[in-house]
Amino acid sequence: MMDLAVAAIRLLPPEPAHKLTVELAARFGPFLPGPGRDDPRLAVNALGLSFPNPFGIAAGFDKNARAFRFMLKMGMGFAECGTVTPRPQPGNPKPRMYRLPQDGAVINRMGFDNDGMAVVAERLKRRGKGIVGINIGANKDSADRIADYRLGFQTLSALADYVTVNISSPNTPGLRGLQNREELHRLLGVLVEARGAAKIPLLLKIAPDLDEAALDDIAAEVLAAGLDGMIVTNTTIARPETLKSPHAGQTGGLSGKPLFVPSTYILREVRKRVGSKIVLIGVGGVSSGAEAYAKIRAGASLVQLYTSLVYHGAGLIPRLKRELLACLARDGFASVAEAVGADIPA
pLDDT average, residue stretch 181-186: 98
Q: How confident is the model at residue 141 (pLDDT cuts 50, 70, 90)?
A: very high
- Residue 8 in this model has a pLDDT that exceeds 90: no
- d(C-alpha 77, C-alpha 345), whole Å: 29
- Check 142, 157, 168, 169 and give the catalytic one: 169
Q: In this predicted structure, which of 31-35, 140-144, 173-177 has the lowest mean pLDDT?
A: 31-35
pLDDT average, residue stretch 262-286: 98
pLDDT average, residue stretch 204-231: 98
The pLDDT score that the predictor gives to residue 10 is 81
Q: Which domain holds residue 261?
A: 2-334
C-beta neighbour count of 138 within 10 angstroms: 28
Does the active-site annotation cover 169?
yes
The pLDDT score that the predictor gives to residue 5 is 63
- d(C-alpha 307, C-alpha 180), whole Å: 28
Q: What is the pLDDT of residues 317-342, one digit of tens each?
A: 999 999 999 999 999 999 999 999 99
Q: What is the CATH number of the domain that holds 217?
A: 3.20.20.70
Q: How confident is the model at residue 3 (pLDDT cuts 50, 70, 90)?
A: low
Burial of 52 (0-12, 13-18, 19+ CB in 10 A): buried
Residue 305's closest CA among 256, 253, 238, 269?
Answer: 256
DSSP 276-337: TSSEEEEESS--SHHHHHHHHHTT-SEEEESHHHHHH-TTHHHHHHHHHHHHHHHTT-SSHH
Residue 338's closest CA among 77, 43, 57?
Answer: 43
pLDDT average, residue stretch 210-220: 98
Which residues are paired to 303 by β-bridges? 55, 282
pTM of the full structure = 0.97
The pLDDT score that the predictor gives to residue 299 is 98
Residue 344, domain member (yes or no): no
Residue 341, domain member (yes or no): no
Residue 68, domain member (yes or no): yes
Q: How confident is the model at residue 34 (pLDDT cuts 50, 70, 90)?
A: confident
Q: How confident is the model at residue 6 (pLDDT cuts 50, 70, 90)?
A: low
Residue 339, domain member (yes or no): no
- Residue 192 in this model has a pLDDT that exceeds 60: yes
Burial of 261 (0-12, 13-18, 19+ CB in 10 A): middle
Instruction: List Cβ neighbours of 81 (8 Å cut-off, separation of 6 or more).
Output: 59, 62, 63, 64, 65, 68, 120, 124, 132, 133, 134, 135, 160
Residue 170, domain member (yes or no): yes
Residue 345, domain member (yes or no): no
Q: What is the mean pLDDT of the chain?
A: 96
- Quote the number of domains for the chain: 1
Task: Output 30 or 56, whichever has higher pLDDT.
Answer: 56
Residue 346, domain member (yes or no): no
Residue 290, domain member (yes or no): yes
- d(C-alpha 222, C-alpha 162), whole Å: 16
pLDDT over 90 for what percent of the chain?
94
Q: How confident is the model at residue 346 (pLDDT cuts 50, 70, 90)?
A: confident
